[in-house]
Amino acid sequence: MLRIIAGQEKSFNGELVFSPGYSVGLLDQDPQLDETKTVKEIVQEGVQETVDALKAYEDINLKFGLPEVYENPDEMDRLMAEQATLQEKIDHLDAWNLDSKLERAMDALRCPPDDQP
C-alpha cells in the first residue's frame, strides 16, 4: 500500500488522489545504494538541486579570478548576472544552511559517519 501511495508501484486497480500542497515519499528500510559513494554523497542526492546551485555559484566565483573574465567587461557582466540569479535561487532554497541541515538529518536517521562508503 505504501509503495502505491509513494508512486513506486504502478500496477493497481483504483484511483489515487492527493490533497493539493502535499507530497508523499517512502524511505525504504533496505534501500539499494551506490556502494561507490560515501554516506554524505548518497544523502546529498536527495537535495541535488541545492547542491548543484551551490556548486555553480562556487564555479562562477572562481571564474572571476581568471584574466579572460576580469579583462572582458561583457563576460564579467554575464557572470555577474548569472551569479545574481543563482544567489536568488540559493536564498530561496536556504542553501547556505545545507551542511547543518544535512548533518541534523543524518544524525536523526542515525546514519554512519558521512565519509564512510
- Structural domain spans, the chain: 35-108
Mean pLDDT of the chain: 90
CA dist 117 and 35 (Å) reads 6
Residues 21, 40, 7: CA angle, nearest 5 degrees = 35
Contact between 43 and 111 (Cβ < 8 Å): yes
Residue of higher predicted confidence among 26 and 102:
102
Res. 56 pLDDT band, cuts 50 70 90: very high
Give the pLDDT of residue 116.
92
Is residue 8 predicted with pLDDT exceeding 90? no
Q: pTM of the predicted model, to two decimals?
A: 0.66
**Nearest to 86, CA basis, from 55, 57, 59:** 57
- Phi-psi bin for 64: left (phi > 0), alpha (psi -120 to 50), beta? alpha
Q: 68-105, pLDDT tens digit by residue? A: 999 999 999 999 999 999 999 999 999 999 999 999 98
